[in-house]
Amino acid sequence: MTAGEYELFKEVKKRAASEKVPPPAIGEYDGSKDPEDHLRKFRNATLLHQYSDTVKCRVFLNTLSGSAQKWFDGLPHGAITCFADFKSVFLHHFASSRKYQKTDHCLFALKQGSAEPLRSYIKRFNQVALDVPSATSEILMSAFSHGLTEGEFFRDLIRNPVMNFNEMLEKAASYINVEEA
């Protein structure tokens, strides 16, 4: 990227209305969320629109706001020559905002509160389980039952074991209906 192109690149935010390439509808990145999530959304949008490397740089700049925009404005002249450079410095700078994958241990740390309804515990458990891609059905069943308070549902799982996590959730649904009635 020449010096002239770089200056044009920094002015894109101001000239967005005159550009013929619309920014993708992926939301803005302000530095507070996972930068890899933002890049994944951007990559998917660029595949759809088939942006060239130069256009990717210009359009990506338009997705930055707040502290992320200030970070970009502070980059040294010539720091970005292609989108691979942009991606690399972006990920490096915002690494502290990266969301790290949780492990199976996070699931085993979850416990149902003594007065917590089963529905609430299932919701919390499932939210954490979404962030543990390596969790098998067996791990989910073990961690879920490990965190249950002793009660009718827990005893039923001991007496009548289920084959997989989905069956366990189906069985839980009937207990939730009784609990909420």
Mean pLDDT by 10 residues, the chain (181 residues): 53 45 79 91 85 86 90 86 90 86 88 94 94 91 95 93 94 89 75
pTM (predicted TM-score) = 0.54
* Domain span holding position 81: 3-97
My answer on whether 34 and 114 are in the same domain is: no
**Does 86 share its domain with 119?**
no
pLDDT of residue 16: 40
Residues 6+ apart with CB under 8 A from 46: 24, 56, 59
Q: Are residues 54 and 82 in the same domain?
A: yes
The answer to whether residues 93 and 7 belong to one domain is yes
Domain containing residue 145: CATH number: 1.10.1200
Q: How do residues 17-37 score in pLDDT, each as one tens digit?
A: 444 566 678 889 999 999 999
Do 82 and 108 fall into the same domain? Answer: no
d(C-alpha 163, C-alpha 156), whole Å = 14
